[in-house]
Amino acid sequence: MGDKAIEVKTIPLSGTQSGKIEVAKIEHPYGENSSAVASIGIFLDKFSEEPDWKVHIPKENIDDVIAALQETKELL
């Protein structure tokens, strides 16, 4: 799908023995004319090729998602 991923950060996944959270920028995730997105992949095993879960967030939505995550953190 996406033709280029630029890894930003890898974070150990709490509560797992070898999981990770991978944050990346994906260029053209839905084809040549699509805009880049932030991608968050959750890997239960850091050696997996593909994430168990992933989400793509357009640039225009990142601030609202960060705010929602901060609100959720307060509820945990």
Does the pLDDT of residue 2 top 70, yes or no? no
The structure's pTM equals 0.87
**Nearest residue to 62 via CA among 25, 20, 21:** 25
What is the tens place of the pLDDT at every residue in 63-75? 999 999 999 999 9
Does the pLDDT of residue 4 top 90, yes or no? no
Q: How many domains does the chain divide into?
A: 1
CA dist list (Å): 14 to 31, 38, 45, 62 = 33, 21, 12, 23
Query: Where in the sequence is the domain holding 71, given as residue range(s)?
Result: 4-75
Portion of the chain with pLDDT greater than 90, in percent: 88
Does the pLDDT of residue 43 top 90, yes or no? yes
At 64 the pLDDT is 98
